[in-house]
């Protein structure tokens, strides 16, 4: 009797554990579907390739690697000597063309004053007017060349196109830089955001404007934001164009289908003081449905939904 009771107790205990595990699993699955979350989130930012507009040797590097810079700040100075000479030549040419234009106008005025006299023919007048037009065109060309020379001289100072942080700087005075070739990267801090990659079966519960919580790995602090936009398309890796421009579809094992992941852009409401966002950091992203507007793509409407997040709730 005692042995039988012991077996019954063991069976009951096993069934109880199984039921608890089943209930916990079901609740987790329901939570996963009703409150979409993903651990596949990353901090993103636009990266600007800093490239000089003109070629020449570097005269001075005014910043260092990983330095924070402001939009318009001078980063690098290229030796301006040859560009200053080009501007001086353009100024001289412009003065010469201006003098020629002035003289051509004076000559034309003289011919027109004598237009009705026997000493000046109609051909002389037409030639004088043509000379004015040619001198005016030459002056405009010289002025454009002067403006270009001044622009090239100004471009010897390479400036930051946006607020951000310099990265991967390996430039020294004396290095030769070529026009259009990148010399460093600038992380645009004004574009810092979070992107969560959600499975396609979670998308019906996500809408633009929904409140979001973001937990950065290792930070121990929850950031708040909202769904700004949802990607309208992802790459189809199973289809390419063949050599004859027909679709080339890769055969797949159809018994098991993996859900595709779709990028969802998150706009952060505020970054607390002391929290450093670095592009590439990993994050857990949780979406709280019901505050947004359904639809793929587009910008988030202005709302205060993120302020209504449940206190301390996250998907990590």
pLDDT, one tens digit for every residue, the chain (316 residues):
577 667 666 777 787 887 788 877 766 666 655 788 899 999 999 999 999 999 999 999 999 999 999 999 999 999 999 999 999 999 999 999 999 999 999 988 887 877 776 767 778 778 888 999 999 999 999 999 999 999 999 999 999 999 999 998 999 999 999 999 999 999 999 999 999 999 988 889 899 999 999 999 888 788 999 999 999 988 887 777 777 778 877 777 667 777 889 999 999 998 888 788 889 999 999 999 886 554 444 444 444 434 444 444 444 3
Contact assessment for residue 284 and residue 38, using Cβ atoms and an 8 Å cutoff: yes
| CATH 1.20.200.10 at 52-77+159-182, yes or no | no
- pLDDT of the residue at 244: 75
Contact assessment for residue 43 and residue 188, using Cβ atoms and an 8 Å cutoff: no
Nearest alpha carbon to residue 136 among 90, 184, 97, 88: 97
- pLDDT of the residue at 309: 44
Cross-strand bridge partners of residue 287: 212
Please, where in the chain does CATH 2.40.50.100 lie?
A: 52-77+159-182
Contact assessment for residue 214 and residue 308, using Cβ atoms and an 8 Å cutoff: no
Predicted structure pTM score: 0.72
- pLDDT of the residue at 183: 94
- pLDDT of the residue at 235: 84
Nearest alpha carbon to residue 284 among 221, 231, 234: 221
Q: Selecting from 3.30.870.10, 1.50.10.10, 2.40.50.140, 1.10.287.470, what CATH number does the domain 80-155 have?
A: 1.10.287.470
Please, where in the chain does CATH 1.10.287.470 lie?
A: 80-155
- pLDDT of the residue at 123: 80
DSSP label at 191?
A: G
């Amino acid at each position: 009797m005692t042995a039988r009771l012991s077996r019954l107790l063991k069976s009951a205990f096993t069934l109880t554990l199984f039921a608890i595990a089943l209930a916990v699993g079901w609740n987790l699955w329901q939570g996963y579907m009703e409150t979409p979350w993903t651990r596949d989130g990353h901090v993103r930012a636009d990266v600007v390739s800093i490239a000089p507009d003109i070629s020449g040797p570097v005269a001075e590097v005014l910043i260092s690697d990983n330095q924070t810079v402001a939009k318009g700040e001078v980063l690098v100075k290229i030796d301006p000597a040859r560009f200053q000479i080009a501007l001086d030549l353009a100024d001289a040419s412009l003065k010469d063309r201006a003098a020629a234009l002035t003289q051509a106008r004076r000559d034309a005025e003289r011919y027109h004053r004598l237009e009705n006299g026997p000493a000046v023919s109609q051909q002389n007048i037409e030639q004088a007017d043509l000379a004015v037009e040619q001198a005016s065109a030459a002056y405009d060309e010289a002025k454009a060349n002067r403006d270009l020379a001044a622009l090239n001289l100004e471009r010897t100072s390479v400036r930051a196109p946006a607020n951000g942080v310099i990265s991967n700087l390996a430039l020294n005075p004396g290095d030769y830089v070529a026009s259009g070739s990148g010399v460093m990267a600038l992380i645009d801090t004004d574009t810092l955001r979070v992107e969560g990659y959600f499975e396609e079966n979670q998308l019906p519960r996500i809408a633009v404007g929904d409140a979001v919580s973001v937990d950065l790995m290792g930070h121990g602090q929850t950031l708040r934001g909202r769904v700004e936009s949802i990607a309208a398309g992802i790459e189809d890796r199973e289809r390419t164009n063949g050599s004859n421009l027909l679709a080339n579809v890769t055969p797949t094992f159809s018994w098991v289908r993996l859900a595709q992941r779709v990028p969802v852009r998150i706009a952060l409401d505020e970054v607390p003081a002391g929290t450093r966002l670095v592009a590439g950091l990993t994050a857990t992203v949780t979406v709280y449905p019901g505050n947004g507007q359904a639809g793929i793509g587009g910008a988030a409407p202005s709302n205060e939904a993120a302020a209504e997040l449940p206190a301390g709730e996250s998907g990590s």
